[in-house]
Amino acid sequence: MMDQTDICTLESLRRAKTDFHNKLCRASIDSDPLLLQKLRSENVFVLSEFFFLLSAFDLIAHPNKLEAYILSHNRQLNDLIASDERRKLMGLEVPRLKRGVFSMIQVHKAKANLLSATPGLDQADIQRLTIMLFSPETGRRVIECLEAAGFLTRVATPYYSKIVQSHGTIEKFFAEYLAQVRNDVPQGGTPKPEVQT
């Protein structure tokens, strides 16, 4: 038996996501087919969500907020490292999770980067913060892809780090994606209980 609301909801989600990727491809400064193919990948969508949330929570503008975020991230990783069952459910391995844990020196450096002449997150910090999403190597690849398309800039510093600065386009497109889902999904359905993590 077909539930029309379910079908409409599914269509809305799919349409909004397709539109998101189409916008990225149209706005790309390079129309190389391989780059456009990468811009349509799930990892690009996921990293866009990361940048959208950074902006939505205003974490880059406030070093103290960034610190609280990183410490919470560290706690999550340490909990997963200690919990065999949860880690297995997520399909993650201890060595990979350990690569995502910030030392206190790295936390201070991340905060200092926000106060520099070219404020932003170091690429290595982004790789650590997204370690549960993808490996650092994949993270770098997605960042490079978004840079090639003109959505991010990487600024090399004298300290051998690369500060990643977003131009705001991917955050804007992601917000539009969410607005489109919100507007298109039929109203009046019973909300599902929140998923506990």
Gap between the Cα atoms of 141 and 162, Å rounded: 14
Do 159 and 121 meet the contact criterion of CB atoms below 8 Å apart?
Answer: no
Question: Judged by CB under 8 A, which stretch of 1-9, 84-92, 105-113, 174-182 contacts other proteins?
Answer: 84-92
Cβ count near 159 (within 10 Å): 11
Q: How far is the CB of 66 from other proteins (least distance, A)?
A: 7
Matching residue, tokens 């997204």: 130
Cβ count near 109 (within 10 Å): 16
What is the identity of the amino acid at 125? D
SS3 assignment, position 29: coil
Question: Which one among 69, 109, 119, 180 touches other proteins, defined by CB under 8 A?
Answer: 69
Question: Which one among 9, 76, 106, 180 touches other proteins, defined by CB under 8 A?
Answer: 76
Comparing C-alpha atoms, which of 175, 131, 128, 124 is closest to residue 154?
124
Count of residues in contact with other proteins, rule CB under 8 A: 37
Question: Which one among 65, 109, 111, 154 touches other proteins, defined by CB under 8 A?
Answer: 65
Q: Verify binding: residue 165, other proteins, rule CB under 8 A.
A: no
Footprint of other proteins (CB under 8 A): 42, 46, 49-50, 53-54, 57-59, 65-70, 72-73, 76, 89-91, 93, 95-96, 99, 129-130, 132-135, 137-138, 140-141, 195, 197
